[in-house]
Structure 1
Amino acid sequence: MQHDHRPTEPRRTFEELVAEGAAVPTEGWDFSWFEGRATEARPSWRYAESLAGRLARARAALDIQTGGGEVLDFALGATAHPPGLLAATEGWPPNVAKATALLRPRGVVVVAAPDDAPLPFADGTFDLVCSRHPVQPHWDEIARVLRPGGTYFAQHVGPSSVFELVEYFLGPQSAQVRGARHPDRERAGAQAAGLEVVELRAERLRMEFHDIAAVVHFLRKVIWMVPGFTVEAYEDKLRALHERIEAEGPFVAHSTRHLFDARKPAD
């Protein structure tokens, strides 16, 4: 048996890892950079594949807060019969540019619109409104742009998602903060806007961060987790977490997700 005398790769320093996590671009919702550095279990309902089936049956569809357009692009690529009218909204300028470049070849009109502004479409325009991880669903606007009999189909972030990481940096959060985005509260909001909730499913999913670069990039990308996060402001906590990961293995957290299927009653 021959022995492999190649030197092992030296362990990367805290400074090197943090610099890498701080340098990776954050546009869009492509999480491929995390491969080998962080993992997250996926919900059993497979949102993007399910969305492809919904798009095949729709005549006019709107994707709200499309990010870089990656999820809608995947779903459209998986359906042979896309809707005749396709639109998407996005509020962050770098994502608007990325989504436009990705989705325009698929016939999608990408509209720059702030997340908290009224949707720039006429009443009853769409028979399908969809969204993956909207910051906050604006139920009255969703109901307004849906045609009678139309559907809202979306995957939402649930309550206390990744709060093991949030509370590591920010300390214990109040019950009010931990309960935000609760599916029961969102169900009530949808019903108050006149929508019928056909299905609402929730799951809690394991996440692992294998190095501090993944933590830094995640908090830069998902900016509402630790508002105002910078490496400089949290250097001491980052260094301590790096040492913990090196000594004990991956930092474990849990995301929460829920699937919404709501319908606007037919006239």
Structure 2
Amino acid sequence: MIRDNQFLSYLNDVNKEFSGWDFSFITGTGRMRSGLLSWSYGSMARHLIQNVDSMLDMGTGGGEFLSMLRPFPRSVYATEGYKPNFEIAKENLEPLGIKVVQLEEDSELPFNDNQFELILNQHESYSSEEIRRTIQKNGVFLTQQVGGLDCKEINESFAVSLNLEFENWNLKTALQELKKNNFEVLYRNEEFPIQRFYDVGALVYYLKAIPWQVPDFSIEKYEESLYDIHKHIQSKGFYDVKQHRFIIKAKAI
């Protein structure tokens, strides 16, 4: 089937380099926009950091977010499980005095019992039991999570099922696990803001960066679906999907 040159040009964005957890190639140019949440994880995290002597940032990516939350407590650790991001995080964070640890399993954190006053976790998996083991009594766990229904419209467009392992990952489930492990919930919320793509190139770049959304994604396999989305954007001006986000602030008791 003959494709227009604009569409073919956009498909080349799948080859653009992605590193750390930096989407500025598509967000900084306004090619992808995300709807506003009624909370700010960053504002909450920054305030909490100012009142502790020890903290852990789980799933720090390339350390870009954490590095902007200075000044830091006396003792700061960060974990990252993805090898390419781990090297970037070390380069970005170790000069700031942060110890970066490569994490193998969420169920076995390489830290002492009651080591941290504060544990931050943005979009990283975790074990509630291990969080409770490594956090001090009255310590605070702050996490913003990507829910199991995140961007399900993308999967519908590609006729690909959501990951069944995470489909039921939501605020209710997370709260149950934390309460079972002796946490008192101080704040919670769950929302479904719009994520908008203004061209199909931004979408292919996004899907390459987060391979778990469509695990077998390739241009060749899904070219027909991508072209349908491209035509939709040409007609309507954008392609919308719903994000799934929830946040919990909890105190160890």
If the length of structure 1 is used for normalisation, what is the TM-score? 0.87
1:210 aligns with 2:202: no
Corresponding residue for residue 186 of structure 1 = 174
Q: Which residue does the alignment assign to 2:151? A: 162
Report the alpha carbon displacement of residue 53 of structure 1 after superposing the two structures with TM.
0.9
Paired residues of 2:77 and 2:101 also in contact (CA < 8 A): yes
Please, which moves more after superposition, 231-240 or 140-149? 231-240
- Could you tell me whether the CA contact under 8 Å between 2:32 and 2:198 is conserved in 1? yes
Give the aligned residue type for 2:122: R
What CA deviation, in whole Å up to 9, does each residue of 1:82-112 have, x standing for no partner? 2100001111111001111111122111111
Matched with 2:110 is 120
**1:3 corresponds to:** none
On the 8 A contact 2:143/2:249 being kept in 1, the answer is: yes
Percent pairwise identity: 29
Q: CA deviation at 1:61?
A: 0.4
Any stretches of 5+ residues in structure 2 without a counterpart?
none
Number of corresponding residues: 248
1:51 aligns with 2:39: no
Q: Is the 8 A contact 1:170 1:226 kept in 2?
A: no
Correspondent of 2:8 among 5, 11, 15: 15
CA contact 1:48–1:72 (8 Å) conserved in 2: no
- The Cα RMSD (Å) is 1.9
CA-to-aligned-CA distance 1:8-45 (integer Å, 9 cap, x gap): xxx9622211112x122222222211132110023222
TM-score by length of 2: 0.91
Contact 1:124–1:148 (Cα < 8 Å) also in 2: yes
Q: 2:24 aligns with which of 14, 32, 57?
A: 32
Equivalents in 2 of 1:106, 1:228: separation in Å? 38
Look up the match of 1:88: 78
| Structure 1 unaligned regions, length at least 5 | 1-10
Match of 2:208 in 1: 220
Do the aligned partners of 1:41 and 1:207 also contact (CA within 8 Å) in 2?
Answer: yes
Q: Distance in 1 between matches of 2:111 and 2:160?
A: 42
Q: Which has the larger radius of gyration?
A: 1
Alpha carbons of structure 1 residues 26 and 117: separation in structure 2 relative to 1, 3 Å: farther
- Asked if residue 145 in structure 1 is aligned to residue 134 in structure 2, the reply is yes
Q: CA, structure 1 residues 116+234, in 2 after alignment: closer, same or farther (shift >3 Å)?
A: farther
Q: In the alignment, is residue 62 of structure 1 matched against residue 56 of structure 2? A: yes
Q: Could you report, residue by residue, the CA deviation over 1:35-61 in whole angstroms, capped at 9, with x for unpaired residues? A: 321100232221112211111111110
SS in 1 for 2:192: strand
Match of 2:234 in 1: 246
Letter in 2 for 1:31: F
> 95-104 or 41-50: which moved more?
41-50
